[in-house]
Amino acid sequence: MNIRKANTQDVPTLLKLIHELAIYEREPDAVKTTEDDLLRDGFGDNPLFQCLVGEIDGKVEGLALYFFTWSTWEGRPTLYLEDLFVRESTRGKGLGLTLFKNLAKIAVEKKCQRFEWSVLDWNEPARSFYHQLGANHKEGWLPYRLEGEPLQKVANSIETHQALVV
């Protein structure tokens, strides 16, 4: 078992794993991401995400894709784990746990006060895994989203004199 940072040559495998994750999350057609998207946003000068891969016998079998956000109350970065995934055929060998521990280590090294992620409410194996590690569901906070047409509509509704002068 070996953990390392993903590089551009991993991109086709990363995209395959993202598709496998979408199937696991019961949204097999949800992935619009392309290899170009991953290359542009993950491996340029100012990457929008970071990615670790987990190898077994030299083959990439899992990924942890993350980025740094910021907490206004802590005054510190937060490590946010967007996706943690291990191939079904490889589960049970501790690769997911090892990826997770490495993220915790990175969070501490980067002086993050918090390490955060989201879990689907029906995913009991994942929730149980996280509870055993001392993590808790943040009760009381509801995630909201605006996208597509409603987002465009709000963006276009701004009056010229109220728009930010850049």
Return the residues of window 60-89 that contact its own copies according to CB under 8 A. Answer: 65, 67-77, 80, 82-83
CA distance 83 to 70: 18
Catalytic residue from among 24, 66, 80, 130: 130
Q: Does 120 bind its own copies (CB under 8 A)?
A: yes
Q: Does 162 bind its own copies (CB under 8 A)?
A: yes
Q: Indicate the residue type of 95.
A: L
Could you give the angle at which helices 11-24 and 35-42 cross, rounded to 10 degrees? 110
Task: Based on the residue annotation, tell me whether 24 is a catalytic residue of this protein.
Answer: no
Q: Does 52 bind its own copies (CB under 8 A)?
A: yes
Q: Does 23 bind its own copies (CB under 8 A)?
A: no
Q: Does 32 bind its own copies (CB under 8 A)?
A: yes
Q: Which two tokens stand for residue 147?
A: 């996208």
Q: Which of 58, 89, 125, 166 binds its own copies (CB under 8 A)?
A: 166
5-30 residues labelled b (16+ CB within 10 A) or e (exposed): ebeeebbeebbebbebbbeeeeeeee
Q: Does 58 bind its own copies (CB under 8 A)?
A: no
Rg (CA), the chain: 18
Please list the active-site residues.
130
